[in-house]
Every structure is written in structure tokens, then in C-alpha cells.
Amino acid sequence: MEHNSSNFIRNIIKEDLESGKRNHVITRFPPEPNGYLHIGHAKSIVINFDLADEFNGKTNLRFDDTNPLKEDSEYVHAIKEDVEWLGYDWDGLFFASDYFKEMYERAVLLINKGKAYVDDLSPDEIRAYRGTLTDPGKDSPYRNRSIEENLDLFERMRKGEFGNGEKVLRAKIDMSSPNINLRDPVIYRISHATHHNTGDQWCIYPMYAFAHPLEDAIEDVTHSICTTEFEDQRPLYNWIVEECEMTSTPQQIEFGRLNITNAVMSKRKLKQLVDEEIVDGWDDPRMPTISGLRRRGYTPEAILAFVRETGVSKGSGVVDSQMLDYFVREDLKMKAPRTMGIVRPLKVVITNYPEGQVEMLEAEINPENPEMGTRQIPFSREIYIEQEDFMENPPKKYFRLFPGNEVRLKHAYFIKCEDVIKDEDGNVVEIHCTYDPETKSGSGFTGRKVKGTLHFVEATQALPAEFRLYEPLILNEDPEELEEETEVEKTFLDQVNPNSLQVLKGFVEPNMKEVSAQEKFQFFRHGYFNVDPKHTTKDNLVFNLIVSLKSSFKL
């Protein structure tokens, strides 16, 4: 099946197969289980799985779990759930920790070859010795330890004889290399911490840059597809694979990462939002995480269409988040049932409608998809309309309800405002209207026309509901500006929108009583909403605004 992955990566793979350089294709999606996946990861998932599918290959899901201090089985579960929700099945499920023994043996091999040494410098000293982009580094005083001494010290590190930070194992490459990554990088550190997979079996752990290329080689990954921030690491990865004498040699290919406006993609910053309770978890509907998008109501179909439309290139850019919203509307417009909800209720009493009478009116479920059929909605003497649909002293060209004006109620009758009831503070609390029984919707009435149509919910059977309306969580449109800011966290937190969530109490039609978590609806004139899976109960309906009905964005 050909996807919208016709890009430079696809051409590389095709050329490799046609030239005989490769006879099969294996890709992998290799998340670190130290946070939840976000929309940027969705792009990597799509690229890796779609390309493997296109070339009849395989895709592994592999967790790069090399740092027990930051990783948790909660993240492993969440990542697997996200990948499956997007519609993908991995061919193999692996963990870096599956290979800790082999990685240790490969490190010993490097020591025996004189390509690695145990260093006693502190992290700050290592950083100082490394040099800068313009100045070369200088050798550690421990760089020329004998092979025998290095083997002994590394074994003692493994046995737990030293404390955290006392010693590290470094690759011996080139301290004067213009690529700082090749200036004797640390490949093992001591960490007396319990690992989510291996428990307390190890107290030394491989660094990500050492483990990652070995994992690809062990799994016979043919094309190691990653974002461009790893391009400078490629010479180190190649060195590790070659010097560790791996039989399989992965080819690394980089693509530009996906950023969207008004969002941060740094796991560190996302975790900070969670830890400081600025949001109510990784799955907060304002978060750009896949679980947050799912809870808000975005569909996997919309996310996949969005990611494929953004294309694949070397360059990184910022994509307008409204483009993602566009694909959500396109996906939901034929699927989502229409219904009526009142988010800011104003009571209306229809004074000439018979007291105690309730009639049922017919309404289409989705006018764009007639096959979905019709529903019955109640109508009686008392209804709720939106507060914004009434003005006592309206401006010109205001066609909704005001004293003396007549409007149509959606699926019902014409009503005319006759009186306004206010509280002691002068606030409008109730509207009294009359209705014309001859104007029933669908009756063919043509006696006169009105310019305004209002939605409503019948009062006696209305179900109380909570509506959660969202604005962007981050005010800054360019996330890359926030990613560059590393020293002063205050700048990042200052960009959090204090109005990103608005919670309103209103009403919905009684036929919404049996809704289930994650069901999606279009509320007339408001937008598309999702039944919140975290806070909805039988007695407390909570609806998350997915997207508004319209946008100025054009594809």
C-alpha cells in the first residue's frame, strides 16, 4: 500500500533494495519510557510503520530504557496504548534492557581493544576537559590507564564497589575532533537505582548514545530513522557499531521534527506542566500528547491525515495547529451525531403553550449523512436558550431574540419575546415569549419569515452537563523559541495561557443520558465535543470541546 511517505527516505530505501545493498527492510520506533508520546512522536510512528508496510518490511517497538532514574512502567504502558490507538501493530517488542548483558560484553571488548577507559573525573571536570566548538578538548589524566586496570575497575563498577558519579567508562576516540560527540563520550555510568525491567540486577547502565546504535544492530534494523538533532551523533553511532564488531550495520537517516504552534514538545517542559499541576496530567486535553489529544476527542484518522499531509523533509518547521483542527473537522463532519447543548443557560417561558404538555419533535441526527436517521427531542412551555442569543438593547443587524422580535427555534416553532424578568441587580434571569403553533418546523408554513434560528433544550427533561472549553495552552506561537530557552524557566511558564480552560455548567438533550466515554457529537452552533473519559459519570456529564465549527484555515 502506498502512503504519503513518497519522500527522500522512501527513495533511499528503494535504492538500497534495487541495488542489492539490502534485501529486506526493518524499521523501529524507539521511544524512551520517560514521558508520554506527543504529536511529534506521531510523525515518527507514521514514517517508520508506513515505510516498512510499503516495502513489506517489519517495524519493531523498542523502549530505550537505559536510565532507571527517569523511567517508569507507567510510560511503557501509555506508549504501547498510544501506538495501538493510532492503528499500528508492531512486529517485535523489545527493550534496551533486554540487551544489558551483551552491551556490557561489548564495552569489555572496547576496553580490551584499547578503545575505552575508566575515568575518575567528575561530570563538571569532564565537561571542562571536553572543550568548546572552537577549542579542542584535552585528555583526561586517566585516559592512558592500562587495559588490565580498566578491566578491573569496570568489573568493580559492575559489582557496586563505587558510588554514583565516582567513575564512568568513556570511549577513547579523539579529544580534538571537531565533532564534540567524538571527544571520548561517556558510555557507562554508575547508578544505584532500581530499574523498571531488571530490578537491582545492575548498578551500571549504558548511556543512550552507546546503547541506541547497539540495539539497532542487534535487532538487524536496516534503516534507523530519526530526527535531525541526532545527525551530529551519527559518526559516534557508526563508530560504536564498527568498533563493537556488530554483524549488522544500520543506516541512520534524519528528518525534520514536527512542531506545531502554541505548544511545547520538550518532555522536560511537558513533565514540568504535569509536576507543577498546571495541567491535570499527561492526558490533559490541552497537552500536545497523544493521550491528551485522544481525551480531548481528536481521532486517530485525523492525526494520521495531518501527519501525512505535513510531509517528510530534512528541514524543521512550525505547522499551524489549525491544520490539525481542519483534519478533525473533516473526519467528524460525517461521523458525529448532531445534538443541542446550552453552555450558558437562559430560561425561556412560552406563556401561551399549554402547561404540563410535552410534545416530541423530529430532528435529523446528521444532515450531511441522512443514513444516520432521526432522533426525537422534547418541547414544552419551558426551555433554555443561550444567554448570548438574547439582548435587551441590541445593535443593528442583531437577528436573535430581543423584545418584540420573533425567531425560529431549531426543529420547533417561531417564538416572540414579550417580557423580560430581571433580578434585584438588574440581571436578566428569564424571558417570557409567545409561540405561533402554525409555524411548526416541517409543517410547510410560509406565512412569514424570520432571520434568526436559535437552538434550545427543553427544561423539564434537560440533563445537567459540564462543558470544558479550551484555548491554546501556550501563548507563544513559535515553540522553537521556547525550546531554545534553557537557562530561565520563568520565561516558559510566563507563556502559559491562564485562560486555556473555561468550565461552564449547562444542559443537553435527554437523549444524551446513555452516552459513553469518548463519544463525539456536534453541538449545534458550538462545535465538536467529546465525552471526557476521566471525569464523566452517570450523574456528571462532561464534554470537552474538540474544535469549533469553523476556522479561517484553508488547506
Could you confirm whether 2 is annotated as catalytic?
A: no
Kind of pairing between the strands at 463-470 and 541-547:
parallel
Give 77: exposed, middle or buried? Use CB within 10 Å, 0-12, 13-18, 19+: exposed
All three cell numbers of 373: 436517521
Catalytic residue among 106, 257, 269, 296: 257
- Which residue has cell 545492575? 202
Q: Is 265 annotated as a binding residue?
A: yes
Query: What H or E segment, with its residue span, contains residue 56?
Result: none
Give the phi and the psi of residue 358 in degrees, each rounded to 5: -130, 125
Q: Is 321 annotated as a binding residue?
A: no
> Residue 116 and residue 285: Cα distance in Å, rounded?
47
DSSP-assigned beta bridge partners for residue 387 = none
Angle at 35 (CA atoms; ends 32, 41), nearest 5 degrees: 65
Q: Is 449 annotated as a binding residue?
A: no
Catalytic residue among 183, 267, 296, 468: 267
- Alpha-carbon separation of residue 234 from 181, 213, 214 (angstroms): 9, 9, 13
Of 517, 547, 508, whose CA–CA distance to 535 is shortest? 517
Q: Concatenated DSSP letters for 144-167?
A: T--HHHHHHHHHHHHHT-S-TTS-
Q: Is 33 annotated as a binding residue?
A: yes
Of 269, 241, 312, 296, whose CA–CA distance to 13 is shortest? 312
Could you confirm whether 267 is annotated as catalytic?
A: yes
Q: Concatenated DSSP letters for 209-240?
A: HHHHHHHHHHTT-SEEEEEGGGGGGHHHHHHH
Q: Is 37 annotated as a binding residue?
A: no
DSSP-assigned beta bridge partners for residue 342 = 507
Q: Quick one: how many helices (H) and strands (E) in the chain?
A: 14, 27
Q: Is 196 annotated as a binding residue?
A: no
- Which residue has cell 490507538? 85
3-state secondary structure of 364: strand
Residue ranges of the alpha helices (H) in 438-537? 479-484, 489-494
Q: Is 32 annotated as a binding residue?
A: yes
All three cell numbers of 196: 523498571
Q: Is 257 annotated as a binding residue?
A: yes
Residues 6+ apart with CB under 8 A from 97: 63, 65, 66, 195, 197, 198
Q: Is 157 annotated as a binding residue?
A: no
Terminal-residue alpha carbon distance, the chain = 24
Q: Is 43 annotated as a binding residue?
A: yes
- Alpha-carbon separation of residue 307 from 1, 44, 69, 302, 487 (angstroms): 17, 9, 32, 9, 32
195-224 residues labelled b (16+ CB within 10 A) or e (exposed):
bbbbeeebbbbbbbbbbbbbbbbbbebbbb
Angle at 455 (CA atoms; ends 389, 284), nearest 5 degrees: 90
Give 499: exposed, middle or buried? Use CB within 10 Å, 0-12, 13-18, 19+: exposed
Q: Is 268 annotated as a binding residue?
A: no
Q: What is the DSSP letter of 256?
A: P
Q: Is 38 annotated as a binding residue?
A: yes
Could you confirm whether 525 is annotated as catalytic?
A: no
Specify binding-site residues for ATP. Answer: 32-34, 38-44, 227, 257-258, 265-267
Residue positions annotated with a catalytic role: 32, 257, 267
Could you list the residues known to form a binding site for L-glutamine, using ranges: 64, 208
Residue stretches of the annotated binding site: 32-34, 38-44, 64, 208, 227, 257-258, 265-267
